[in-house]
Structure 1
Amino acid sequence: MNADLGSGTPEQIQTIVKDFWSAQEPILTSMQPAPDPIKADVEALLALAHNGASTGDSATFTSDDLQTADHNIDQYMLRTCGYGQISVTATDDAYQGIPATIGSGAVALTLNNRGREAHQVLIVRINDGVTEPFRTLLDLPPDQRMQTAAALGSVEVDPGQVGTLFLRLASGRYGVGDFLSQGSTSLDAPGSGDPHYVLGLHAEFTVA
């Protein structure tokens, strides 16, 4: 979901919420009957999807049931699905745990935020034929930077929290960076400073 719910009109926000949950409903329905360890979590998400798709209530995005169910399903997938895993620890000025190389296929990218500010791992695939280091690409103006790599997804968490992103990686060069502003004490309280990647929260790796 790439929408900014803070800047839309009530009608626009309602439409965004309805469209989002309408897309999730068939996915969640296809997961039934879910394995016993996550059966209640899938049912909780499906109830939220029914509600959000019919009412457009943005409170479905901040529901404690959503956070709990999402976390439980992530942990179940990490334990049982055999995905490759990248476990990233973020402080306020560095990433730790990013490998130089990882195998292609389905990967779980987990971010553990041990900093005092909110942090992010945004992952991009660097376009074939681009030879500059990812750090150099970060210095480009945004419009030029977008021509050198394709964003695949991101995970962002508040201080002391853990989040996981699942995605499928093809062979190539990849970069990760924290584009959240310095001074962001939480995801709901964004700062106004430079992006965290300026402080060192960036890395590059290869998928073989």
Structure 2
Amino acid sequence: MNGRTLARTLGTAAAVAALTAGLAACGGGSTATGGGSSGAPSVAPAANPTASTCENLLKIDAVPTPDGDPSAPPDPEAAKAWGNQVVPLLNSAIATAPADLKTTLTALQPVAQASATQGAQLPFDDPNLTANVAAYETWAYRNCGYQQVSVMGVDFEFEGMPATLEAGPTAIQMMNHSAANQAHVMLVMEAKDPSMTVEQFVATPQEQLMANFQPLPTAAIAPPGQQGGMLLDLKPGTYFFLCPVGEEYGVPPHFVQGMINKVTVT
């Protein structure tokens, strides 16, 4: 990642994060309770399959994807490392998923398996991949019991983004209502300096920003007129939610034009 502009770094990170943003769902644990008639041993109830699926998908979200720097040759070993971490988690999620979600997740198995065994790069330009990602992001948003945030991506603002959030699993959905017919991405950067303002972020040279922020391994990506989402386990701290898209359309990055929010997580 060294030597790249912030726009390219963030744009690449967002693209590479597309799969994990969708694969990331929610966490939860099953609860066992004692019971039984006199003298009979207590028997724990079966684990909640939804919670089990969500827990495995949340773990997938935490697996950093290969950098995917478009100016560098593909790194098959990095892709294999990602795939070998994701495949068993994905398989476990499928094993407990309801029928509708199982179909969606099963369609992603070849992608993860190809990375694990062949070092294949993730096909972010595949519309089938995008559709399956969007499908289970929506399922997770509705079913996993996360803190929910619904945002409208317009030119150029995240309408509805709160200034504060609670720590813990969080589901974000973003609908893209771009009047300029441009894609919008929501990327999350954790700040090392909680006092930094949005104005300071935008005014800081790009190389310095990358030294002062840590991108989270997830992103919401929505083509014009479509919906994207992400699920993440937020820790207390200061975060900037921003759209890095721009140079693809020959314009300044969207966050420079106002598509950026500072959020405090407590």
TM-score by length of 2: 0.65
Is structure 2 residue 256 aligned with structure 1 residue 198?
yes
1:1-208 matches, cutoff 5 A: 1-4=65-68, 6-9=70-73, 12=74, 14-15=76-77, 17-33=79-95, 34-58=97-121, 60-115=123-178, 116-128=181-193, 130-152=194-216, 153-182=218-247, 190-208=248-266
Shift of 1:114: 0.8
Aligned-partner Cα distance in 2 for 1:123–1:107: 13
For structure 1, which segment, 62-71 or 23-32, has the greater mean C-alpha deviation from structure 2 after superposition?
Answer: 62-71
Shift of 1:102: 1.5
Q: Which runs of 5+ in 2 are unaligned?
A: 1-64
Q: 1:59 to 1:169 in 2, by over 3 A?
A: closer
| Structure of higher CA gyration radius | 2
For structure 1, which segment, 12-21 or 39-48, has the greater mean C-alpha deviation from structure 2 after superposition?
Answer: 12-21
Shift of 1:132: 2.9
Q: Work out the number of aligned pairs and report it.
A: 198
Q: 1:79 to 1:142 in 2, by over 3 A?
A: same
Aligned-partner Cα distance in 1 for 2:66–2:79: 12
Secondary structure, aligned partner of 1:121? strand
Q: 1:60 to 1:200 in 2, by over 3 A?
A: closer
CA contact (8 A) 1:137 1:148 kept: no
Identity %: 26
Aligned-partner Cα distance in 2 for 1:140–1:37: 46
Letter in 2 for 1:167: L
Q: Which runs of 5+ in 1 are unaligned?
A: 183-189
Q: 1:161 to 1:13 in 2, by over 3 A?
A: farther
CA contact (8 A) 2:170 2:234 kept: yes
Deviations along 1:49-108, one digit per CA (max 9) or x if unpaired, are 224433445474444442232222111111111101222211122220101222110111
For structure 1, which segment, 27-36 or 105-114, has the greater mean C-alpha deviation from structure 2 after superposition?
Answer: 27-36
Shift of 1:204: 1.3
Letter in 1 for 2:265: V
Which structure has greater strand proportion?
A: 1
CA contact (8 A) 1:5 1:13 kept: no
